[in-house]
């Protein structure tokens, strides 16, 4: 194209072409606090691969941290969603504790917690985080199926947005299945439970009524706890990936 031909192109066409080349502004920003060792490391690594692809495909950004050293109110203000990716509710730095409580209490962003997020009690010399205890429905970790079991998860609130495209019953093939000192149901809105009679192999470590996905509507932040989060094979499970994806887009929006 010569200069005369180029100059004959309307300016608006040129501007539109240039704008089309610019990357779209991210829809929202996500912070993921992920465990960096122990037997959940394989899950965290698989989750990062899956999350990075989802972020690229769905136009949001995600940053990862492996401890709470940098967390304060100013740091969290950059993010619309906080994912607690198997990280437990103890050994947090005090500024992080205060900032996170404020973040959830005031609805500054959403929260998704997985698996280890209900490891509540006295562990590794740390006391119980009472605010988090209330947030998770006043439960303490009691025991778990150390050698793993498959189990069927039954959706209770199929109308909730996180279950769009998720079957009413789906199987998780490798999980530890925590049990707690009490049932969280009276203090949270239960979204799904695991059928303990479906465990393979069978286990005597049971609760009876056993919630595994719930939200606490008392808090301003959109929040959801999803127990399943131990094995990397979860990212081969279509129902689980759909649930995880739906939870991200639901929780990233303010109430």
Under the banding of pLDDT at 50, 70 and 90, the label for residue 3 is very low
199 closest CA partner among 129, 117, 144: 144
- Assign 17 a pLDDT band (cuts: 50, 70, 90): very low
The whole-number pLDDT of residue 236 equals 97
Fold category of 28-252 in CATH: Rossmann fold (3.40.50)
Q: Tell me the per-residue pLDDT of 64-118, one tens digit each, with 9 for 90 and over.
A: 999 999 999 999 999 999 999 989 999 999 999 999 999 999 999 999 999 999 9
Q: Distance between CA 231 and CA 216 in Å, rounded?
A: 25
Nearest to 96 by CA among 86, 82, 85, 107: 82
pLDDT tens readout for residues 188-208: 999 999 999 999 999 999 999
Amino acid 11: pLDDT? 45
Among 109, 237, 254, CA closest to 175: 237
CA 18 centroid distance within chain: 37
- Note the pLDDT of residue 2: 53
DSSP of 126-176, one letter per residue? Answer: B---HHHHHHTTS--EEEE-TT-EEEEEEES-TTSGGGTT--SEEEEEEE-
Is the pLDDT at 182 greater than 50? The verdict is yes
pLDDT tens for 35-63 read 887 778 899 999 999 999 999 999 999 99
25 Cβ contact partners less than 8 Å away, ≥ 6 residues apart: none
d(CA 202, CA 103): 40
Q: Is pLDDT above 50 for 161?
A: yes
Q: Is 45 helix (H, G, I), strand (E, B) or coil?
A: helix
Tell me the pLDDT tens digit for each residue of 127-157: 999 999 999 999 999 999 999 999 999 999 9
| Whether the predicted pLDDT of 22 surpasses 80 | no
Mean pLDDT of 171-193: 97
What is the reported pLDDT for 153?
Answer: 98
- In this model, does residue 5 exceed pLDDT 80? no
Predicted confidence band at 23 (pLDDT cuts at 50, 70, 90)?
Answer: low
How much is the pTM?
A: 0.90
Beta strands of 1-140 (E only): which ranges? 29-34, 61-65, 81-85, 110-114
Which pLDDT does position 10 carry in this prediction? 55
């Amino acid at each position: 194209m010569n200069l005369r031909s180029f100059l004959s192109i309307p300016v608006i066409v040129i501007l539109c072409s240039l704008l089309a080349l610019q990357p779209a502004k991210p829809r929202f920003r996500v912070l993921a606090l992920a465990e960096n060792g122990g037997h959940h490391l394989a899950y965290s690594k698989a989750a990062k691969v899956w999350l990075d692809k989802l972020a690229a495909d769905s136009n949001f950004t995600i940053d990862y941290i492996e401890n709470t050293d940098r967390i304060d109110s100013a740091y969290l203000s950059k993010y619309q969603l906080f994912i607690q990716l198997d990280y437990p509710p103890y050994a947090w730095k005090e500024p992080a504790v205060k900032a996170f409580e404020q973040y959830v209490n005031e609805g500054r962003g959403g929260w998704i917690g997985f698996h280890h997020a209900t490891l509540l009690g006295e562990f590794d010399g740390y006391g119980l985080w009472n605010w988090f205890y209330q947030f998770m429905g006043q439960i303490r970790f009691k025991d778990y199926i150390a050698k793993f079991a498959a189990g069927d998860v039954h959706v209770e609130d199929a109308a909730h947005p996180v279950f769009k495209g998720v079957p009413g019953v789906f199987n998780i093939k490798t999980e530890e299945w925590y049990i707690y000192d009490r049932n969280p149901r009276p203090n949270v809105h239960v979204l799904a439970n695991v059928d303990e009679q479906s465990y393979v192999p069978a286990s005597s470590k049971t609760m009876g009524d056993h919630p595994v996905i719930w939200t606490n509507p008392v808090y301003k932040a959109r929040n959801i706890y999803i127990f399943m989060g131990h094995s990397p094979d979860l990212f081969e499970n279509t129902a689980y990936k759909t649930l995880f994806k739906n939870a991200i887009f639901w929780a990233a929006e303010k109430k």
